[in-house]
């Protein structure tokens, strides 16, 4: 992949919102959810589970997850999720044991069906919904292009997520070189310029355009975007 500039994320976000009208369902879900409810107790309120499943089904009508099973699974992985609660894609240290927590929660959530169906794509969606600053979503096309198509939690935690962190840090370093600041301030600024979507969400949108919709980097960069003092970039 060509070296990316942070404005590629902003242009991809605009492209994504213009072309994929389901983006409104994500925004509505994020506005309606109670983020704290997922970390106050292992017994998540039913309302939060219903909101989560409603959003997942807007993206994947074939999702076969069982809500009662999800809530039971979550109560079992609650200590692991608490360990990840305040992590972000930028700051997490994958060598500190966090990768093991991610692997465990991913595989647990992916086994949310009554059948033996393994919901890899939707597990990434649910985890992102719970901790939007940390988890990056994926699908079959994104996996195939970035990590060879493996679907399990070990691949997600040890290959995909570290690769997404490396990309995120490169993008932020480019912003810092041009505008100053540090990782946190750069991440906040980019998020503000993209309707307050997290860096993890913006990277997902970029991946979705590139690998699921097969849009070229040139097509993404052709989007006119007014940023930073009114300049078209």
pLDDT at 182 over 50: yes
Instruction: Give the side-chain half-sphere CA count within 13 A for 108.
Output: 19
Give residue 176's pLDDT.
98
**Token pair of 14, please?**
């605009």
Give residue 67's pLDDT.
96
User: Which tens digit of pLDDT belongs to each residue from 50-103?
Assistant: 999 999 999 999 999 999 999 999 999 999 999 999 999 999 999 889 999 999
Domain ranges of the chain: 6-227
pLDDT at 232 over 70: no
Give residue 1's pLDDT.
56
DSSP class of residue 96 equals G
Average pLDDT, the chain: 94
Measured between alpha carbons, how far is 164 from 147 in angstroms, rounded to an integer? Answer: 11
Distances (CA, A) of 210 to 49, 53, 176, 223: 31, 26, 25, 14
Cβ pair 95, 107 in contact under 8 A: no
User: Which tens digit of pLDDT belongs to each residue from 101-151?
Assistant: 999 999 999 999 989 899 999 999 999 999 999 999 999 999 999 999 899
Q: Please give the full DSSP string across 64-84, using - where no structure is assigned.
A: ---HHHHHHHHHHHHHHHHHH
Measuring CA to CA, which residue among 143, 106, 99 is closest to residue 125? Answer: 106
């Amino acid at each position: 992949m060509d070296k990316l500039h942070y404005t590629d994320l902003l242009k991809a976000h605009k492209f994504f919102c213009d072309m994929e009208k389901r983006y409104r369902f994500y925004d509505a879900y994020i506005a309606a959810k109670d983020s704290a409810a997922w970390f106050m107790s292992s017994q998540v309120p039913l309302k939060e589970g219903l909101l989560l499943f409603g959003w997942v089904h807007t993206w994947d009508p074939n999702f076969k997850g069982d809500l009662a099973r999800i809530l039971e699974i979550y109560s079992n992985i609650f200590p692991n999720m608490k360990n990840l609660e305040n992590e972000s894609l930028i700051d997490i240290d994958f060598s500190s044991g966090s990768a093991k927590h991610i692997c465990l929660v991913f595989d647990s959530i992916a086994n949310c069906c009554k059948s033996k169906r393994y919901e890899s794509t939707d597990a990434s969606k649910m985890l992102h919904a719970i901790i939007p600053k940390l988890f990056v979503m994926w699908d079959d096309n994104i996996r195939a292009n970035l990590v060879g198509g493996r679907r399990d939690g070990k691949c997600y935690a040890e290959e995909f997520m570290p690769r997404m962190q490396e990309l995120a840090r490169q993008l932020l370093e480019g912003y810092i070189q041009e505008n100053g600041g540090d990782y946190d301030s750069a991440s906040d600024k980019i998020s503000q310029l993209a309707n307050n979507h997290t860096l993890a969400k913006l990277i997902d949108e970029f991946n979705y355009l590139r690998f699921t919709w097969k849009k070229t980097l040139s097509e993404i960069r052709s989007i006119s975007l007014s940023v930073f003092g009114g300049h078209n970039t």
